Every structure is written in C-alpha cells, then in structure tokens.
Homo-oligomer: A and B are copies of this chain.
Amino acid sequence: MSQPEPTAENAFPITPRNRVRRRPARGFYDRTNVHRILDAAMVCHIAYAIDGQPYCTPTAFWREGDHLYWHGSSASRMLRAEAKGIPVCLTVTHMDAIVLARCGFNHSINYRAVMAFGRAHRIEGTEEKLRAMDAFIDRFFPGRSKVLRPPSPQEIKATAILGMEIEDASAKIRAMDVHDEEADYAVPAWTALIPVAQVLGAPVECPRQHPDADRAAGGMAGYQAGRRLDEVMTEMAGLAYPNLAYPE
C-alpha cells in the first residue's frame, strides 16, 4: 500500500479554498485522482449555507467531465437555494481502513476524499432535464433508461436537476500502513490495519418481478453480491462513458 502518484498535467488550480493545509503531502489536484475518486461513488455530501446557516446534505450525484449533477424534488429547500447559484462544496469520501497505532495520536483512517467547489445552477428546459434524468439512471445502470417506463410530464416537472462546474477541487488520500514513533514499537498494544469497504449484498428481488424481466438488459449484471460498491461504480462509469479514461 502506498500513496498514489499525482499526475502533474491537467490539474485544477490551487486556490485558498481547495489547498490542502493539514498534511499537504496527502493532497492531490490532478484530474486523474479527483475524477477517479468521484467516479467510484454513488453518494456525496453537499455543503451550502442559507443566511449564514450551513447545511450538509447527502445525495446521489454523477459526473460528466468537470460537471457534477445531482437531483431532488423541486420543492426541496436545498435546491431552491442552490438554483440561485449559491456556492457549494461537494464532498465524496471513501473510507478504506481503520489504522491502529501504539499511541492515540497515530491512530488514523485510510480514505480517499474529494472536495469540489463551484456554484450550483438549475438545469432548465424539458429536453435538457430529460437528458439529465436518463443520464442519472444510465450512469449507474448503463442502458437501463431504455427498459424503464419513460418519465411522465409530472415527474419531469417535479424533478429538479442541479449542476455545478468544478471551479477547483482537491483530493486527499491516506493509503498507508501502521506508522508509529520508533520508541513506541516497544508498547505491547495489538496493532493492525483493518480494511473497510462498502460491499453489495444479495439482491432482494421484487416479489412482483415481471416474468420477462432480464437482468442483463438493464445494466445490472455487474451488481453481484460481495463486490465492492466503489469498484462497481468505477466499472459502470466506464460502461456509461466509453471514452472515459484517466487522465482524460
């Protein structure tokens, strides 16, 4: 296990808000590391403030180039506020391991995280919303939008899609083994790295499954029990966007 290499080219600008100040050696600004971490996730947390009050909301999201999208009811407070173009910070975190040590100070967590900064805008227009709604489905389940009942006019109206161009972003990665001060190896505390991963369980099929339902037709073939969600997400992004490559 070791820290990834930053790719020097195609990096986001380093600004006062995305610069990694605490443990800067864990900071990465290249699109390869940032995009990889984003594409391995289904859910992010979005911070925004209304009248000085911060909110932190979990939501599913997806990426197209440097553009991030998420959705919600048109009625939600977050989307109402963000449609005005308020600044947001969209964060993705993968927890990879609990890292024990021989003193409290050196206990840690292995993780891959991205903080992406920009201004949310609302996707307007029926055509563009329909495209985004299908893209939302197909990013996670490539081709599935084709086997679903299409969105109704009421559903399109009731769905708000928000987008954000990433203005600047940084990744922060800890991928290291147990590390202790030399003198502390004499302390007889049991010490290990304990891996953690989001893992898929066995599907619970709908009891009203249609007799002609074909799992392979809807982009679900990769969702096998026991697989890591981050690996499935990365695989699905590659299927949904066949030209996707890191670095892009």
User: Hey, which bits of chain A sit against chain B, CB under 8 A?
Assistant: 17, 21-23, 42-43, 45-49, 52-58, 60, 72-73, 75-77, 87-91, 93, 95, 97-98, 100-105, 107, 109, 111, 113, 115, 117, 133-134, 136-137, 140-141, 144-145, 147-152, 155, 158-159, 177-178, 180, 184-206, 208-215, 217-218, 220, 223, 229
Contact = CB atoms under 8 A, between A and B. Distances in A.
Nearest to A76: B22
A149 B91 contact: no
Given A49-B52, A104-B136, A104-B151, 7 more contacts: A52-B87, A58-B113, A102-B149, A105-B151, A147-B190, A192-B205, A192-B206
B115 A55 contact: yes
A209 B190 contact: yes
Nearest to A103: B149
B104 A53 contact: no
B103 A148 contact: yes
A190 B213 contact: yes
Contact of A188 (B95, B97, B158, B212): B212
Sorted from nearest, which 5 A-B pairs have the closest CB atoms?
A: A195-B201, A47-B56, A47-B47, A192-B203, A188-B212
Contacts of A75: 21-22
Q: Specify the main secondary structure of chain A where it touches its partner.
A: mixed
Nearest to A94: B58
A199 B203 CA distance: 17
A186 B204 contact: no
Contacts of A189: 144, 147-148, 210, 213, 218
Contacts of A117: 53
A222 to B, nearest CB: 11
A91 B91 CA distance: 12
A56 B215 contact: no
Given A89-B56, A91-B45, A214 B198 contact: no
A54 B43 contact: no
Contacts of A204: 177, 192-195
A191 B209 contact: yes
Contact of A42 (B22, B95, B159, B185): B95
Contact of A199 (B49, B104, B184, B199): B199
A214 B200 contact: no
Contacts of A42: 95, 98, 109
